[in-house]
Amino acid sequence: MLHLDHDLAAFYERTAADPDLTWVARGAGRMLRSPTVFEDVVKTLCTTNCTWALTSTMVRALVTNLGEPAVGHEDDPLANAFPTPAAMAARDERFYREIVRSGYRATCFTKLAAMVDGGEVDLEELGRSSRHDLPDEEVERRLLALPGIGPYASAHIMMTLGRNSRLILDSWTRPTYAKLAGRARVADSTIERRFRRYGSDAGLAFWLFVTSDWVDEAPGPEGP
């Protein structure tokens, strides 16, 4: 779940030469993924166009209502496993609106669950594949074809898969980058250019840059 088999040596060589990211080589960059790709896709869908509080509400409702109880924790619904595609496919749009509180995303949940449960799409294949089997372009193409998954969600899901080439550009990372850069606004193209030197790790470098202050050892906006 932490991609410990992923060799970051080459990435650390580049960050070491980047004054803003020298701290990264201490061992940062292990993005947490869920047990299944399906779980990360659904959860990411729950982060789109809403507050984190609503994201929590939706995920909590999915887990407590549709998840299998965890052995030894049958009395704690919050400990339930994340719902399977079959469990989610068994509920209708009304359930996702009224119980999950997902609003317009309800149709995305029913469509996605049906696609995965019916075997129309194999999300787990994306988790097993390497860049050699499936290039990032192909993985991105498949993710963007999913209902409710756009550029932001696709980039986010790819990061959980260890596919670190795409930048997660959203209403939080954009202003955060601008602030660190000492500017009011920064065009996406400008941000892309700044991290282009990282090639297939551009998304990871960007993510670590905007989350620098989550790490004690990292320098703040004013530098070390």
> What residues line the site for DNA (CB under 7 A)?
47-54, 57, 97, 101-105, 144, 146-154, 156, 168, 170-172
Cβ atoms < 10 Å from Cβ of 166? 24
Q: How far is the CB of 17 from DNA (least distance, A)?
A: 26
| Contacts of range 73-79, beta carbons closer than 8 Å, 24 or more positions apart | none
Q: Answer whether 33's CB lies under 8 Å from 40's CB.
A: yes
Q: How far is the CB of 159 from DNA (least distance, A)?
A: 8
Of 70 and 187, which has the nearer Cβ to DNA? Answer: 187
Q: How far is the CB of 60 from DNA (least distance, A)?
A: 11
Measured at the CA of 217, the angle between CA 178 and CA 7, to 5 degrees, comes to 90
Maximum distance among all Cα pairs of the chain, rounded to whole angstroms: 53
223 in helix, strand or coil?
Answer: strand
Q: How far is the CB of 111 from DNA (least distance, A)?
A: 10
Structure token digits, residue 14 = 């580049």
Which residues lie below 8 Å from residue 221, measured CB to CB, with a gap of 6+? 179, 180, 213
Of 94 and 196, which has the nearer Cβ to DNA? Answer: 94
Of 70 and 215, which has the nearer Cβ to DNA? Answer: 215
Of 22 and 178, which has the nearer Cβ to DNA? Answer: 178
Report CA 50 to chain centroid distance, whole Å: 15
Instruction: Give the closest residue to 147 by CA, choosing from 27, 17, 44, 223.
Output: 44
Of 37 and 168, which has the nearer Cβ to DNA? Answer: 168
Of 172 and 183, which has the nearer Cβ to DNA? Answer: 172
Structure token digits, residue 189 = 């193209």
Q: How far is the CB of 72 from DNA (least distance, A)?
A: 29
Q: How far is the CB of 140 from DNA (least distance, A)?
A: 11
